[in-house]
A and B are shown apart, each in its own frame.
Chain A
Amino acid sequence: MKTALSKGQFVVTAEFYPPKEANKNEVEKRALVLKDVVEAVVVRDNPLAEVHMSPLATTTILLNKGLKPIMHIGIRDKNRLAIQSDILGAVTLGVKAFFCLEDCHQRVGDNPGAKGVFDLDCVQLISIMKKIEHSLVGTRINPFAHPLELHLVNLSKKINAGVDFIQTMPVFDLERFKEFISLIKGENLYLLAGVRPIKSWQALQSMSQMVIPENIVQRIKNTPENKQAEEGIKICVEIIKALKQIKGVNGIHIFAHDWEEAVPILVRQANLK
């Protein structure tokens, strides 16, 4: 991925949630959908504060299947000892890229009584990840958060700590996204814009924390239920094509969640492969 980014290629990555059970076949099956379609996959560490298979085990399976995993190391569930131990293990197994974000709070997950660790924050963790020679380190930002100035100060600290790339929360509002891009112009980092295909009207209603323009909401709402997934793909392809035209966007990160089959369709329809 580092090579692709440095060569100026438009890079495509995808989000990968490990299964909630000890099921190697499921990981392999889902990995095959993404193989040769995306440059790399971000393997999440207990996403949404729910128990999933460990990212270290998942990345190992993905490596064996020929995929390039970007291993998410969470700050919620492990202290600095466990984190460094995981990094050493991952590097030994062939992981070259790492990812971190501030993680969902345990209160919203399936073990709300768990003790949150948060021994390190992302800025501090990035510094540790960058100690690994030639590692590629990424993090996430919400371009639509207010006040953006506060979040940009946080981003500048992550840049100072050595972060190589950022991926954004899913983009639906291109005008506001362009404003964000203009504010980070000149920063020495790669930017992957987040995109998320809307699978249905029901799925859209669970995306209340995202900034979605009214015309997109209406398009899904006014589409018959059996055609909503198709319309969601169409909207996503339009957004990807528009993002590709924006200077400063080095690629996209696809949040497909439980809809991985959408990833190859998006890549094909957006002429990315």
Chain B
Amino acid sequence: MIIAQRKSIKEILEMLEGYKKILILGCRACVTVCCAGGQKEVEVMGSIIRIDRKKRNKAVETIERVIDRQCDAIYFSMVDNLIQESEVVLSLACGVGVNMLAETYPKKLILPALNTGFMGITEEQGVWSERCIGCGDCILGKTAGLCPLARCPKGLLNGPCLGSNNGKCEVFPENDCVWYLIYKRLKGLNQLDKLKAIIPPKDWAKGQPPRKIIREDIRL
């Protein structure tokens, strides 16, 4: 899923300064799972904005809603009237949702409440980490299902750097070296030979924005 994190309250309040009717719009997809932009976070955000304005004797009206997805315009119909009526939409979706809102409502100001991080996993409650950079040309078949592009800070494709020692990463010593994990897994699978094949330079033409996938077979 996409992992995101709320911006600082200070930054959010500064962005909203002067607006009196604010729609706070959450998303039930990834950002709900990573506790950044679901129902609960939308309600908390509404309270924070109202308390701030009350403290400063400034008027504000907040409307709080959560829709199934913000990355698909079809779900905006549920809140279309509210978007039209509000002065500004504070989106608690990932950056994709903010873009979708901005493209759908060209005359409406859309502001992001989150910083979008990465595609990752839940390691434990409150801990998420990156697992895929969406490079467009998956090499996991060669690396025992573990991605060096996402997990090695240098994105090395042919093995560890000089600093990898005792299975730990030189740059982030609290992390396991992904090349050590790949080695261990391949050894366990009796496929250590796979480690010896040289992986050629990456074709970044497939991994750079702006990207688009067109599936003619399912287009209407």
B-contacting residues of A (Cβ < 8 Å)? 75-76, 80, 101-105, 107-108, 116, 118-124, 140-142, 145-147, 149-151, 153-154, 156-157, 160-161, 169, 209
Contact = CB atoms under 8 A, between A and B. Distances in A.
Contacts of A156: 196
Nearest to B187: A149
Contact of A120 (B159, B163, B201): B201
B200 interface: yes
B145 interface: no
A89 B196 CA distance: 33
A102 B162 CA distance: 7
Interface stretch (B84-92, B135-143, B164-172): B164-172
Contact of B201 (A80, A151, A154, A169): A80
B159 A123 contact: yes
B156 A118 contact: yes
A156 B164 CA distance: 17
B91 to A, nearest CB: 27
A187 B157 CA distance: 23
Contacts of B167: 146-147
A102 B171 contact: no
B153 A150 contact: no
Interface string B143-181: 000000000011111111111111100110000000110
Given A102-B156, A105-B154, A124 B200 contact: yes
B153 A116 contact: yes
B195 interface: yes
Interface of B: 153-167, 170-171, 179-180, 183, 192, 195-196, 198, 200-202, 204
Contacts of B171: 105, 107-108
B153 A76 contact: no
A74 to B, nearest CB: 11
B158 A121 contact: yes
Contact of B154 (A80, A102, A150): A102
B162 A121 contact: no
Given A108-B171, A146-B165, A147-B180, A121 B157 contact: yes
Contacts of B164: 145, 150-151
A103 B159 contact: no
A142 B170 CA distance: 13
B162 A123 contact: no
A118 B171 CA distance: 14
B182 to A, nearest CB: 9
Contact of A160 (B160, B165, B198, B201): B198
Contacts of A101: 162
B166 A118 contact: no
